[in-house]
Amino acid sequence: MAPILCSSMPEIKVGHIDDIQELRRARPTMVPERYIRDNSERPTRARLPDSLQIPIIDMSKMIWENDVQFHHELAKLATACEEWGFFQVINHGIDTHKLEDMEEVAREFFDLPLEEKEKYPMKPGTIQGYGHAFVFSEDQKLDWCNMLALGVEPPFIRDSKLWPTNPSHFSETLDKYSVEIRKLCHILLRLIARSLRRVEENVFNDMFGTAVQAVRMNYYPPCPRPDLVLGLSPHSDGSALTVLQQETDTVGLQILKDGAWVPVHPIQNALVINIGDTIEVLTNGKYKSVEHRAITNKKKDRLSLVTFYAPSYDVELGPLPEFVDENRPCMYRKYNHGDYSRHYVTNRLEGKKTLEFAKIAEQL
Ligand SMILES: O=C(O)CCC(=O)C(=O)O
Ligand SMILES: [Fe+2]
């Protein structure tokens, strides 16, 4: 997902969209037609070796720069970004209470009666508030998910009317949480720059002067037919970095690796990080923004808390010259990040299609 803009598109017709938690109340044995995916999109049970897991980066090994451990972990980070686009960080230094508190208020919010949650409506064509983002037509297949999405920083993207006042400590908890995640993003961006070797450690600094930070909370109720639906459609994120927190008792996130959907198994207190479209463009495709999706479970619900961290809207982006040479010709044109964000939020989630906005024609 991209950072959140309030791009209202009054002309779009999306038809009636059910609230999934309400739909579930009647304990249906089947799902409505609008959720049933075409065969090719349905979650198939992949026969993958359990050892096929996204890399795990131990941040406690990356404190002392002169240490052998530091360089070993940095090399792992480089491989993770190049080959997977995803990794989990452990020992990231964020107080686990802050993570748990956020999970708790988010759950409390989703457990509220619908009338209460509808006080913060996500209007069609916008992606802030409670509801369904990225729905633009009546015939579009829908995701088995309720969402609450909020712009956090800079202040002009924050729509305070959409910040829940119930639970009463929601905003305060989200603010505290967001400060911690932001600090983690700063550290990660520096480490990522360092792992690229060809650029200075502070190469990204100017782009993130008034960085955009947005949060999306995805709640996936249990689904009677998880084999037919998707929790969240395949997409790459329009951010620079995404930080995803998930509970440990359900698997739902899958990433596309060499043509197979690989599940991301949750690790206690770890955070899942992925490279977004911005870093793919800046590194001219060296570090990958990888397609991912969420599937549902028959018996269990699942909550994911997702922070998108992106450059200032006024920044002009394009591949850094250090990553363009005769072996790797320039794959992306220069563009304004605000324009890209607008493009992202006004199109449905469809694999890596949004990045075509930036691709140079002969690379399409
Ligand atoms: O819930 C998940 O695991 C995936 C969430 C995600 O990819 C997103 O919100 O962009
Ligand atoms: Fe995502």
Residue closest via CA to ligand 1's atom 3 equals 253
What are the φ/ψ torsions at residue 80 (nearest 5 degrees)?
Answer: -60, -45
pLDDT at 314: 94
What's the one-letter identity of residue 106?
A
Q: What is the mean pLDDT of the chain?
A: 91
DSSP codes, 263-318: E----TT-EEEEE-HHHHHHTTTSS----EEE---SS--EEEEEEEEE--TT-EE-
Categorize the per-residue pLDDT at 62 as very low, low, confident or very high, splitting at 50, 70 and 90. very high
Task: Compute, in angstroms, the gap from residue 233 CA to the centroid of ligand 2.
Answer: 9
Residues within 6 Å of ligand 1 by CB: 1, 216, 218, 232, 237, 244, 252-253, 292, 294, 304, 306
Which-ligand-closest: CA of 254? 1
Which residues are paired to 90 by β-bridges? 58
Give CA 357 to chain center in angstroms.
Answer: 19
Predicted ipTM > 0.90? yes
pLDDT at 9: 53
Tell me what percent of the residues of the chain surpass a pLDDT of 70.
Answer: 96
Measured distance CA(331)–CA(56) in Å, rounded: 29
In the three-class reduction of DSSP (H, G, I as helix; E, B as strand; rest coil), residue 147 is classed as strand
E strand residue ranges, the chain = 56-58, 86-90, 129-131, 146-153, 212-220, 232-235, 241-246, 253-257, 260-263, 271-275, 292-294, 302-310, 316-317, 335-336
Phi-psi sector, 134: left (phi>0), alpha (psi -120 to 50), beta:
left
pTM recorded for the entire structure: 0.94
Tens of pLDDT, residue by residue over 88-109, are 999 999 999 999 999 999 999 9
Task: Compute, in angstroms, the gap from residue 251 CA to the centroid of ligand 1.
Answer: 12
Task: Compute, in angstroms, the gap from residue 249 CA to the centroid of ligand 2.
Answer: 20
Measured distance CA(341)–CA(327) in Å, rounded: 30
- pLDDT mean over 141-145: 93
Task: Compute, in angstroms, the gap from residue 361 CA to the centroid of ligand 1.
Answer: 29
Tokens of 248: 């440990």
**Residue from 219, 229, 242, 292 to probe ligand 1 pocket by mutation (most atoms less than 8 Å from CB):** 292
